[in-house]
Structure 1
Amino acid sequence: MSDSKYTRETVLKVHAWVPDKLLSLTTTRDASYEFTAGQFARLGLPASHAPNQAPSIWRAYSMVTPPLQSDTLEFYSIVVPQGEFSPRLAGLQPGDALYVDRTAFGFLTLDRFPAGGDLWLLATGTGLSAYLSMLQDPATWASYDRIILVHGVRTVQELAYRERILQWVNSGLPEASELPRCAQLVYLPIPTREAFESMPMARLTHLIQDGRLESLAGCTLHAETSKVMLCGNPDMLTEARQILKTRGFAVGRRGNPGNLALENYW
């Protein structure tokens, strides 16, 4: 059952990164569905007591898939044990239905910035989703000199998509190799509660504050040459925004594109 506001998609695959906590879910994609890398979809399910009725419970999830090169949609989710939606999402199996609003939402997109310089993509937890979509868009690689992807999590087990990202670090995005100029990707996976490789066990905001993030990345966070995106829990966003403000970073306003963009992902 559907109407003009949403489509009925079919679950193709469910992958548990951390059982009962983190998962990725892949669905079919309506041929007319369009979005910009970094935007999010509204996913719908019917009420639990009326599984055969129209969807009435909706939640926002960023697309992991690229905007143009995929005929599927992929989403990355945390499971909130007492939540109304995510436990049911985690319980879906291939062949089950999931509803997708026909309109994509959100403004955490790269058209907010002028091209050039370094692009810093800072995420906590499932805030990584939007950046994965951007990194599968060849236009992203063509627009910046360096891309620094930072993923803050609690444990090593929560470093979802790490193998895929390391492939991009080592080989780049295949489609991007055809472009005249291709960005270098730096990947910093940072668990805060477990030792991992040579990474410090510290919150991203602390690493920004004391300069260690720049040392790890091998480049400087400079307001004249860097663009920064923040996606994750609201506390991180608030604190990081204040720290970056003292260094000349600001969200764009009318007539001024700015060098900072952020979106809560909680």
Structure 2
Amino acid sequence: MSLDDVLQAKKATPTLPDAQVVTSVTHYTDRLFAFRCSRPQSLRFRSGEFVMIGLMGDNGKPLLRAYSIASPSWDEELEFYSIKVPDGPLTSRLQHIQPGDPIILRPKPVGTLVLDALLPGKRLWMLATGTGIAPFASLLRDPETWEKYQQVIVMHTCREAAELTYGRNLIEALPEDPLIGELVEGKLLYYPATTREPSANMGRVTDNLLSEKVFADLGIPPLDPETDRAMVCGSLDFNKDIKAILEEAGLREGANSAPAEYVVEKAFVD
């Protein structure tokens, strides 16, 4: 949709609290899709944060869930990456949105997957499963990420290769990005893996870290709290398992109020 189309759609949108307009929708698999929407002029956020978004419920009340903003802080629109849950209160309906539809967005960004919550380091690990790649999609397109770190390693694991498409497309486009392309050169290592469908890299993030396979495959040394920083985003079990691995390696969990060596996102959608 063009800017004029968005403005016209906003005028035609029923009065809703914090309503924005969907500008594009892309379906990747029968379980995954992404969409973009207009951005409130007053919204300011740090790459990696999340907001509450949703639709009006049948009872006339907003049905909202926490979603990481997948677009970088400088983008004029907002991007979100979502699963489709057939019986999910929100995603069962959200997956059917079309350009021009209204969507509710509460412009109060929060979250721990921000650069400010990490102490200075040399290597940044982004560890994700499924739609956990969303906050990293924001951070990977932020110049500050590449200015702060000498190397950025993205480990993303899904069940099947098709589920890696969103992240793979984003990663492959980074070197040609007019804003950060030159900053990315020589700094990015990408390690996509699958757990069910055969692929070049098999296994869970946890398994590939514990076996040290990822270090051997990428030709890099193991985790070191002096140089390595990490961000984690996945299921509750995934986050718990990764935390144990990072802490065994000597990394400590950080927060906005007390930066340290790694951070974990704790917000989820249905």
Q: How does the TM-score come out when normalised to structure 2?
A: 0.87
CA distance in 2, matches of 1:167, 1:178: 12
8 Å CA contact retained: 2:34, 2:79: yes
Amino acid at match of 2:29: V
Give the match for residue 29 of structure 1. Answer: 39
- DSSP-derived class of the 1:175 partner: coil
Superposed CA deviations along residues 17-43 of structure 1, whole A, max 9, x for unmatched, are 002x10001111111111111101100
Give the match for residue 159 of structure 2. Answer: 154
Give the match for residue 113 of structure 1. Answer: 118
CA positional deviation for 1:177: 5.0
Are the structure 2 counterparts of residues 178 and 204 from structure 1 closer, same or farther at C-alpha, using a change threshold of 3 Å?
Answer: closer
- DSSP-derived class of the 2:66 partner: strand
Give the match for residue 193 of structure 1. Answer: 196
The unaligned stretches of length 5 or more in structure 2 are 1-14
CA positional deviation for 1:107: 1.6
Are the structure 2 counterparts of residues 138 and 172 from structure 1 closer, same or farther at C-alpha, using a change threshold of 3 Å?
Answer: farther
8 Å CA contact retained: 1:141, 1:183: no
Q: How does the TM-score come out when normalised to structure 1?
A: 0.88
- DSSP-derived class of the 1:258 partner: coil
Are the structure 2 counterparts of residues 102 and 42 from structure 1 closer, same or farther at C-alpha, using a change threshold of 3 Å?
Answer: same
Count of residue pairs brought into register by the alignment: 252
- DSSP-derived class of the 1:159 partner: helix
Give the match for residue 63 of structure 1. Answer: 69
Give the match for residue 28 of structure 2. Answer: 17
8 Å CA contact retained: 1:142, 1:182: no
Amino acid at match of 1:203: R
8 Å CA contact retained: 2:20, 2:105: yes
Q: Please, which of 176, 179, 182 is the counterpart of residue 180 of structure 2?
A: 176
Give the match for residue 237 of structure 1. Answer: 239
Give the match for residue 170 of structure 2. Answer: 164
Superposed CA deviations along residues 64-87 of structure 1, whole A, max 9, x for unmatched, are 11101x111110000111111001
Deviating 4+ runs (over 2 angstroms): 171-174, 176-179, 252-257
CA distance in 2, matches of 1:229, 1:263: 8
- Corresponding position: 1:223 with 2:228: no
Q: Please, which of 124, 129, 132 is the counterpart of residue 129 of structure 2?
A: 124
The unaligned stretches of length 5 or more in structure 1 are none
Superposed CA deviations along residues 229-261 of structure 1, whole A, max 9, x for unmatched, are 110011111111112211101103798621111
CA positional deviation for 1:263: 1.2
8 Å CA contact retained: 2:68, 2:134: yes
Give the match for residue 3 of structure 2. Answer: none
